[in-house]
Chain A
Amino acid sequence: MTEGHAYNFAYLDEQTKRMIRRAILKGIAIPGYQVPFASREMPMPYGWGTGGVQVTAACLVPEDRLKVIDQGADDTTNAVSIRKFFQRTAGVEVTEHTCDASVIQTRHRIPEATLIPGQILVYQVPIPEPLRFLEPRETETRKMHELEEYGLMHVKLYEDIARHGQIATSYAYPVKVEGRYVMDPSPIPKFDNPKLSGSAAIQLFGAGREQRIYALPPYTEVVSLDFDDHPFQPTKAPHACDLCGAGESYLDEVITDDVGTRMFVCSDTDFCVVRREAGHEGRLAHQSAHEVMA
């Protein structure tokens, strides 16, 4: 395909973007409420972020600078392909730096750097309905949202404690938005849940296959559900990053040989790079990749 005007700006036609923007505005007006929208077929399979891509496409303007991350990293397949998609179809600038981006599309993470006013964070959502696995009937879950019947959500947490001695749900941890709607924050680790609340950025959630959009306007109160005697606790691996030495960032565990040696590195690659450039060093900072993997 040639560069240039083969596509409308940001792939989608203007009427589709208009429809999606209306859904986004409605979502922002009712924080946490799942707004149905007429999801389009995108040139990528369901599960690769078709919802997030449509939301991003509807938000993008030519002046935007886009960052795309997958599990915190800028250089993974999903992130690279979506970034290239928008470079080709919208011609917008791209960046890997969280603080330089105006629109950030993410899968499974919230960046470590604090988001600032004016930024838009777009989440890719596989299953928008937090009650799905507890109550399979969609008609019934809608009724439960309507009538604020959220006792069932606590049954799930009860089961966790009964079976594992603690709330073992570690990602897609259910939250309550502004004391009203219970929302699935997409499969972000529960470590990121506190960052949902009071964020200065607009947070948009797009589920393509399920045809739902929901949103958190800036400075929305988001509370993770818990029990009085088993309060919510964000968790991470009890280590520091082996490359940049950060002790408070979310870590990926990387197995480096076949005898169980492992290293922990920041899942947010931009955060890690910025720290290393500023001179921070972790345990394995001076070994080359070859030595680490040897």
Chain B
Amino acid sequence: MSAEPAPFEILEHTADAGVLAHGRTLAEVFEHAAEGMFSIMVNLDGVREVEQRSMAVEGHDWPSLLVAWLSELLYYSDVEGLLFKRFEMEDFRPYALRALAFGEQVDRQRHELGTGVKAITRHMLEIDEGPEGCRVQVLLDI
């Protein structure tokens, strides 16, 4: 009677915050980790899917791919002022991914904003693949 774990939960760390994401596959858990990261920045319920961005990133192992993926999203957030709420992996393979991100431009009147994320840390970064599902733990610099 194991209930499906929540897509993500927010972890606590004295200086910052982290995301613990779950999913059936690594691709899904990468999507959930991204959702978790944006949930720190904004109440995702209020974000509409108006804009879409396509991105491709690479790494030299799974942890570096995860860091590259989340960093890429932060880049769009900083440069174009975008907040994403949903992600679709189009291609996902050892150490490269292509994905779509859906969201909209930040609106300081309408969005319930949280705290900006500065960067993705490698400290205590964990990626587990198991028969019962996948799990990612990542700490973010706030």
Partners in one complex: no
